[in-house]
Structure 1
Amino acid sequence: MAWKSRTRSLQVFDTELSADTVEWCPVSSDHDVLACGTYQLHKGVGEDDATPSRTGRLYLFEFRREGPMIPPLTELQRIDTAAILDLKWCHVPVSERPVLGMAAATGELQLFTLSGSQDGGRSLQPLSSLEVGAERLALSLDWSTGRLDSSSDIRVVCSDSAGCVSVLSLAEGALTALSQWKAHDFEAWISAFSYWDTQLLYSGGDDCKLKGWDLRVGPSSPTFTSKRHSMGVCSVHSSPHREHIVATGSYDEQVLLWDGRSMKRPLSETPLGGGVWRLKWHPTNQHLLLAACMHNDFHVLHCQQALEGGEGACPVVASYILHNSLAYGADWSRLSLEDPAPRSPPPAAAAAEEPLAESVGHLRIQYESPTASFDTSLEDDAGRYIPEVAAAAPPPPAAGPPLHPDTDAASVSCLLASCSFYDHMLHVWRWDWTPEEAEPC
């Protein structure tokens, strides 16, 4: 069966500061709420002010479809904060309210409660905070509740720029540190729970290593260490739909799918042409995986073939290419889009969605790490990444997956959000994926 894929921008919002993380609320009463975090590095000037400072801002939005001419995103709140490296909502309510976790450049993990007011408004209120370490940046966090487990044992894992991983518990509205250990030689970019067995953790670092940890036996040694990624590991996400399935991404531009019971060899390896900063499994469709690919936009992978034992890369079924800077934050919404797919755009609008033509390359600072180190790379005049060795560029993924109509939905309509760094932009967009109508005989 042939399928038609279309992405369409719904709204663009200027975050003013560099945007690096977006998260839709997973709690059913507040699926229309979106949080966005920013990170701004202020370089010191002169010998007396050589230490850079970092500031950020936390935005809260509401999504509402009121008509084709009305922007659907409404800003509810903005909070000036320390620079934000990661945001994650707890997947279940805490004391009947959604809770948002924030990893900050001050080395703190901060929690906010989403509260309603008598006039129907909503806002974030501080709940609890805990410093995971002095003179370090908190880089990522994940909740143990990924399978919508509402048990009272709610924990958070956090990784930091000192290479450490911390596990904390949330009870009676307060964070308590349970354990912390040195997991990586350099920055520990990412940490994540196995949602099926929350005593198991994964971590990835700038030492190019992916590691597993079992909290029952302690962190004295990892359960495995993989060096399959050739550069820093910066994204890990456990599937909430399939036990043992884990997706990882790296600066090496590869997405690997793993069976957690056998970490010697990945199930699949997909080149995406840009450092894979974030991966997100779709909240209800077990085969769809969203990737934010720093130098190469945002893509949706269809992983059915790999998950069923097939070989080869996961095909890309959708791409969103309207950002003009580093693709960092991305997330799926759980809101239902019941209205029909939009009509085909007029020729001028359609041309805007085509890949931009390459122009002469030049040297530009392309990636600024949270620890204030710099990499350089080639960009064209439109800000698109040009590999240093064009001949080494990965082959394009397959055009479409081998679908089974009896097991796949007849169509897919999704609402997504993404953000990019240097142009400080938040985009809200939709993706429609439908079977092609057969041509009449």
Structure 2
Amino acid sequence: MVMAWKSRTRSLQVFDTEQSADTVEWCPVSPNHNILVCGTYQLQKGAGVEDATQSRTGRLYLFDFRREESMSPPLTELQRMDTPAILDLKWCHVPVLGKAMLGTAAATGELQLYTMSDGQEGSCSLQTLSSLEVGAERLALSLDWSTGRMDSSSDVRLVCSDSAGCVSVLSLAEGALTALSQWKAHDFEAWISAFSYWDTQLVYSGGDDCKLKGWDLRVGPSCPTWTSKKHSMGVCSIHSSPHREHILATGSYDEQVLLWDGRNMRQPISQSAMGGGVWRLKWHPTYQHLLLAACMHNDFHILDCQQALEGSGSCSVVASYILHNSLAYGADWSRLSLENPAPCSTPAAEPKESLAESGGGGHLKIQYESPTASFDTSLEDDTGRYIPEGIPSLSSYTAAAPVLKPDRDAPSLSCLLASCSFYDNMLHVWRWDWTPDEAQQESEQH
């Protein structure tokens, strides 16, 4: 008998970012797994009718997540910094000079670096360290660090893509960025660039020319080592698996997630339709088969890629988070442990229900940080449970048991995530629980 599992997503808190939110990431460096950053991108149009100038402004938020006090919201804003518009941000996976380091890709064509320092009473703050312009009159669109396998190597590098179709590789030494190489990689915007975390001399890039390309830095960037046209629209997401060598996930405006074996880029090993352009993909930091997808017009989804990686089908959606009201752009997993059960329902902090919730009452209640924020709560059944449009039966998702790493086998899985959406200026923090469906098992036994 295949064990049935029940999947449930629940909103923990919603924060109004005041500007269009497009990128979020939890800090991967211990002991700062409770730290979350969010970047925004706001287009300011010229005042006059014939004024064609447009400025892009942004903001960088720093948050602390604490679960100890169940009566208060778990997310605390520690800092906000006005910056150029931010298109992407990523933490270096390992400490640099003894500190957590954050990189941002800005609309000014700059890569900007920040270090995190501990302040009084355990509070943290970001300080500007350095910046480097990768090119004039272009937007820096993405960045990735070479440290995805958490190796504390002295060779820390970044790769960046930009709106001129170029890819840049930079080294980091003593807190300063140095450009190693830059080349024209795509005919239009190079939406995404990423390292192979297993061989950091290999770089991947994707562009609005619908091409996915691989580059070997040892050979030089005069021509790619391979070019794929399996995506039918612009390629905007790439993430190398930190768990399995050669495995690569890519996403595109064509609404497909493709999984690849880097040793054979002629054909993907799986293809999964997501119903929305796949702007970001993130492998889970410890569970090797789980992949998080931000799908623009079709919300956020957690994929179980076990069968796909075994060559026997596509990825299956095991959970969805549908409470955003705008373009699903930024998403990330936290490394914080949520092994303790969720706080019990109280009048002041009632648990939030989602599409994957079955049984029990409880109204959907979301903690907004801004009094001007609104949420359409008309889609509820008689007991107050949230009923999304176009989704028939809202009993819990069931799926085969997840394949957990041997040293982390557990009877259930609980994850903390963050996501953000564009035009409604929203950052959401939420949890996903994947537990054995005891009710279904009992019915199968009788």
TM-score by length of 1: 0.88
- Distance (Å, rounded) in 2 between the aligned partners of 1:282 and 1:237: 11
1:43 and 1:81, CA in 2 relative to 1: closer, same or farther beyond 3 A? same
Q: Confirm or deny: 8 A CA contact 1:37 1:87 kept in the other structure.
A: yes
The answer to whether the Cα contact below 8 Å between 1:200 and 1:214 also exists between their aligned partners in 2 is yes
Structure 2 distance, partners of 1:341, 1:3, is 18
Distance 1:417 1:36 in 2: 9
Q: Equivalent residue for 2:377?
A: none
Deviation digits for residues 311-336 of structure 1 (CA, Å, limit 9, x no counterpart): x2210000000000000000000000
Compared CA separation, residues 142 and 345, structure 1 to 2 (3 A): farther
Distance between the aligned counterparts of 2:404 and 2:85, measured in 1?
45
Match of 1:439 in 2: 442
Residue 346 of structure 1 aligns with which residue? 361
Where does 1:139-288 land on structure 2 (aligned, <5 Å)?
139-288=141-290
Q: Percent identity?
A: 78
Would you say the 8 A contact 1:315–1:401 is kept in 2? no
Q: 1:154-187: per-residue Cα shift (whole Å, max 9, x none)? A: 0000000000000000001100000000000000
Structure 1 CA distance for aligned equivalents of residues 28 and 178 of structure 2: 24
Deviates more, 1:111-120 or 1:76-85: 111-120
What amino acid maps onto 2:292 in structure 1? Answer: L
The residue type paired with residue 258 of structure 1 is: W
Q: CA deviation at 1:355?
A: 1.8
Aligned-partner SS, 2:121? coil
CA contact (8 A) 1:289 1:300 kept: yes
Task: Choose from 355, 373, 377 the match for 2:388.
Answer: 355
8 Å contact kept, 2:39–2:59: yes
Using the alignment, how far apart are the partners of 1:320 and 1:24 within structure 2? 18
Count of aligned pairs between the two proteins: 401
After the TM superposition, which residues 323-342 of structure 1 pair with which residues of structure 2 at under 5 Å, given as runs?
Answer: 323-341=324-342
Whichever residue aligns with residue 437 of structure 2, its letter is E
Find the counterpart in structure 2 of residue 419 from structure 1: 420
Deviation string, structure 1 residues 345-365 (Cα, Å, up to 9, x no partner): 52543755432259xxxxxxx
Q: Distance in 1 between matches of 2:360 and 2:40?
A: 32
Compared CA separation, residues 403 and 108, structure 1 to 2 (3 A): closer
Summarize the alignment of residues 40-59 of structure 1 with structure 2, pairs less than 5 Å apart.
40-46=42-48, 48-59=50-61
Alignment equivalent of 1:79, drawn from 78, 81, 100: 81
The within-5 A match list for 1:394-405 is 400-401=399-400
Report Cα offsets for 1:352-401 as digits up to 9, x if no partner: 5432259xxxxxxxxxxxxxxxxxxxxxxxxxxxxxxxxxxxxxxx9635
| Code of the aligned partner of 2:178 | T
Q: In the alignment, what sits opposite 2:23?
A: 21
Q: 2:130 corresponds to which residue?
A: 128
Task: Please say if residues 341 and 432 of structure 1, whose CA atoms lie closer than 8 Å, have aligned partners that are also in contact.
Answer: no
Q: Which has the higher contact order (CA 8 A, sep 6+)?
A: 2
Query: For residue 355 of structure 2, what is the aligned residue in structure 1?
Result: none
Unaligned runs of 5+ in 2: 345-358, 365-379, 392-396
SS at match of 1:305: helix
d(CA) in 2 for partners of 1:406 and 1:56? 39
**Structure 1 stretch 408-417 or stretch 31-40: which is displaced more?**
408-417
Q: Structure 1 residue 405: deviation in Å? A: 8.0
Letter of the structure 2 residue corresponding to residue 354 of structure 1? I
Secondary structure class of the residue paired with 1:276: coil
